[in-house]
Structure 1
Amino acid sequence: MATRSNEEVRLKTPPLRRSEEAFARALLVFPDGTSRVTIERDPIPKYMERGEGAYLFDVDGNRYLDLNGNFTSLIHGHAFKPVVDAVHLQLASGSCFANPTQVEIELASILCERIPNVDRVRFVNTGTEAVMFAIKAARAFTGKEGIAKFEGAYHGAYDWAEVSQSATPENWGPADDPVSVPFYKGMPESVLQETLVLRFNDTALLEKKLTAHARRIAAVVIDPMPSQAGLVAAKPDFLDSLHRLCRDHGVLIIADEVLNLRQGYRGASARYGLKPDLLTMGKIIGGGLPIGAIGGREDVMDVFSAKSGRPLLPQAGTFSANPLSIVAGIAAMRALDEAAFARLDSLGDRLRANLTDIIAQQDAPFAVTGAGSLFRIHPTRRKPREFRDMATNALQKDASRALSGFFSRHGAILPNGAAACLSTPMGETEVERISDLFRLFLKEHAAEIKNMKIAE
């Protein structure tokens, strides 16, 4: 691969005067100056003005290659013309109605036709809502209250889904008996008692715990490749055991594909052999606008039905299936044909191979995981197998922050310690750019990286 010289990729620290002014104003109206906890600061947030394709432009006129994509939702990058045109046309006709629209049928049809095990769909506004209603649907269908989830996996902001989301070595308990750890101060004890915590890809623990608690468990919530837990896929034998145990004990499987639907034309469950009863979607199916969806088996989804009177699970929402998000989603999904996914897979494979080669060439204590258009750079030699392998020491945490800050100062937004992504406007130029920046980072931070190696 042809590479640029260090001088070609090096840039001066971008000026942030207007971002500093904006942050000063934000401190007067937001609790910590930000509107969501995921806003990154280095040392202040960068305020964006516009996006174009694979790039962002901040209020100070700096350009950045966007490897965050609004937390992987912008698979076509920014201001994707088919989405812009569809939303503009719909906005001129009305932004939302209490009545249904024909376009919602079209997007639901796309999802039902593509995604295995999705017979029926209900739209909501966010991924969090999708997971929340999927869990409620499992309870309504099975008559059981408890759920099982995997340690460290992120499933949005529903209490039961948040249990052990941020567990640490200090509180996560024994390897063979994980503790239900509260996510926030004041989380009800009843929520912790109703949530069974498992470990991803640990078949023995799955067999032991699910068998013992199945009588109270309505569903197992699983992300086929949890980003916060390492961006590592579920193993085939683990999924085989999950399928058998859930079938034998009357427990439903909820696949959370809010993020990972972007892994292929038919999604991540199909890619890895997971056969869910319910599947949650979001992010890419809204074309950059807020959306969520629950899909699944016809008999399970029938808990939402009002055909015979009040449904077992009433689900509404003022902006659910709003036509702006729906038409944006139709435009985005139409453009995501099998060729588009194959191209993203190829780009992702090249990038992960490049980064892995650079690590080997420089004997650096890093590792790369991911699949499709997703990748993650870990500050450790060994690829994680599950969430507990993600525990890092102070030097490793510093290295991750330094890597993210380095990319930002050199014109690229790389999420700190989370899944990064490619988008359809990207090509070989962007793959080379990411690779060159990583190589330069390892060179310029050689002393700190040497200390990391000593500390291993």
Structure 2
Amino acid sequence: MLHQDLLSFRRAALRSRSQYFFERGQLVFPDGTTRVTVERDPTPTYIARGEGAYLIDVDGNRLLDLNNNFTTLIHGHGYLPIADAVADLLQRGTCFSNPTEHELGLAELLVQRIPAIEHIRFVNSGTEAVMFAIKAARAFTGRSRIARVEGAYHGAYDWAEVSQSAAPASWGPDEAPAATTAYRGAPQSVAEEVDVIRFNDIEGLERRLAVSGRDLACILIDPIPSRAGLIAPDPAFVEAISILSRQYGFLVVADEVLNLRQGYRGASARFGLEPDLVAAGKIIGGGFPVGAVGGRMEVMEVFAGIGAKPALPQGGTFSANPVSMVAGRVAMEALTPASFERLEEMGTRVRNGLCAAIEGREAPFSVTGSASLFRIHPKRQAPRDYRQAFPTSEQNSWMTNMTRHFRSLDILLPFGAAACLSTAMTNSDLDLIVEAFGDFLDTYETDFDGAKA
């Protein structure tokens, strides 16, 4: 199609230096970059700097950023209060084997703000936070088995990533999702220790846990899982988790690494979940590496080691380093109730605008999300779980074209994942998003003819 040829030409013209850097990268990295999550079409966009809501790439293009390093930068790029605080700190030391007062400041803020967190430990990433939350649940209960939601992303710990990339060929029947390992060579015994459930499927949850509930250390759940569709939980599903956890004696672990940004007190508080443990990350580091696991004091005692070996030893060379602690504290202090109210208004404005564009054209798309997050689905009906959100090959091509179209209009839209807003954005930025989507629907209108999904 002509419009696709023109877009391909423009992409090539705008990415000459990115192509050069990618060719260099292929000489030193197995696939040209150093993380699998880097998007490429066909090459990655290399970034020179960030300014507020925008990125400037190495070819000089100014791009509205709807990724914000995978939802981490809730204040956008180059947020001056963080930059000033970190610059002052760097000359006084970046990491020590001893504790510093800076870890206390961020810990106190999170304990005071997040209802489920009474005690806390810092680690270096969201993956570590989830891993230690699972280990803490095992140490506390004396059980090893876990349950998790199909398609939800929980990082790179073997048990946490079971069935996080499930596909139709291997995901099993609707009433009994299969547990599949995430990479070649992963021990099958890992999958055998994980119960996989469908999001919002109360009957399936009850049926599965009737068999294995008393063997579970925990159920791992993101209250509004982005990779599984960015779908809000059914209140009855949340209540069922709470009831079953008491019935069978397992812990509830909330993965809020991404979704702590759902509100001033986090995602669990927003959606009525009462977890025993919470894994946090991303926004609590202010743009620097961080993770945290917190929860009920009784459960967190498994980390205590004064005078004896702890039930769960935990450490890390860079855990609670002053740079991450100071940046995180400054970022979180700036996230006042008023800030979250504004982010909520921004998210509503974008989602409503996208929905209006869909309805006005009767296009085969839908929108999910809440707070400052949104996700566009190539589905007429908004999905309720990962399987319903899973795109066909045709729908995948629509999403590829949509991402390309946004990029041609200088907007970076994450492919098939949560798009996020930042406090640095203006109403004009938000309207650009809606306008770009409407333009995409008009440009590719003939591609959707006869679509039923």
> Shift of residue 284 of structure 1?
0.2
Partner of 1:23: 22
8 Å CA contact 1:83–1:287 kept in 2: the answer is: yes
Q: Distance in 1 between matches of 2:292 and 2:215?
A: 26
- The amino acid of 1:69's aligned partner reads N
Tell me how far 1:243 sits from its aligned partner: 0.4
Give secondary structure in 1 for the equivalent of 2:347: helix
Aligned residue pairs total 444
* TM-score, scaled relative to structure 2: 0.97
Partner residue, 1:288 = 287
User: Secondary structure of 2:49's partner?
Assistant: strand
Give yes or no for contact 1:211–1:245 (8 Å, CA) kept in 2. no
Please give the alpha-carbon distance, in whole angstroms, between the structure 2 residues aligned to 1:148 and 1:347: 34
TM-score (normalised: structure 1): 0.96
- Measured in 2, the distance between the counterparts of 1:455 and 1:70 equals 34
Shift of 1:455: 5.5
Tell me the amino acid that sits aligned with residue 451 of structure 2.
I
Contact 2:380 2:452 in 1 (8 A): no
1:72-87 correspondence runs (5 A)? 72-87=71-86
- Pairing of 1:161-310 with structure 2 (within 5 A): 161-310=160-309
Contact 1:147 1:219 in 2 (8 A): yes
Equivalent AA in structure 2 for residue 454 of structure 1 = A
Residue 394 (structure 1) aligns with: 393
> Whole-Å Cα distance in 2 between the matches of residues 39 and 322 of structure 1?
26
Q: Deviation per CA, 1:22-71: give whole Å up to 9, x if none.
A: 01100000001011111111111010000010000001100000000000
8 Å contact from structure 2 (residues 159, 191) kept in 1: yes
Q: After superposition, what is the alpha-carbon deviation per residue over 1:404-435, rounded to whole angstroms, capped at 9, x for unaligned?
A: 11111210100000000000011210111001
- Per-residue CA shift, 1:235-285, capped at 9, x if unaligned? 111111110110121100000000000110000000000000000000000
Q: Name the SS of the counterpart of 1:51 in structure 2.
A: strand
Give, in whole Å, the separation in 1 of the partners of 2:214 and 2:248: 7
- Report SS of the residue matched to 1:159: coil
CA RMSD of aligned residues (A): 1.1
CA distance in 2, matches of 1:36, 1:366: 30
Give the CA deviation at 1:307: 2.1
Q: Distance in 1 between matches of 2:432 and 2:59?
A: 22
The answer as to whether partners of 2:364 and 2:452 remain within 8 angstroms in 1 is: no
**C-alpha displacement at 1:211, in angstroms?**
2.3
Alignment partners' CA distance in 2, 1:149 and 1:394: 27
1:12-91 matches, within 5 Å, as 13=11, 15-91=14-90
Instruction: Look up the equivalent residue of 2:81 and give its one-letter code.
Output: P
Q: 1:243 to 1:455 in 2, by over 3 A?
A: closer
1:368 aligns to what SS in structure 2? strand
Deviating 4+ runs (over 4 angstroms) = 11-14
Structure 1: how far apart are the matches of 2:260 and 2:208?
A: 28
Q: Structure 1: how far apart are the matches of 2:91 and 2:131?
A: 33
SS in 2 for 1:279: strand
Q: Which amino acid aligns with 2:396?
A: K
The alpha carbon displacement at 1:141 in A equals 0.2
Tell me, what secondary structure is at the counterpart of 1:215?
helix
- Which amino acid in 2 is paired with 1:261? L
| 1:224/1:272 contact within 8 Å kept | yes
Residue equivalent to 2:5? none
Equivalent positions of 1:425-440 (< 5 A) are: 425-440=424-439
Q: Which residue of 1 aligns with 2:443?
A: 444
Per-residue CA distance 1:101-125 (angstroms, 9 max, x = gap): 0010010000000001100010000
Distance (whole Å) between structure 1 residues aligned to residue 214 and residue 434 of structure 2:
50
Q: Which runs of 5+ in 2 are unaligned?
A: 1-8
Alignment of 1:238-387 (within 5 A): 238-387=237-386
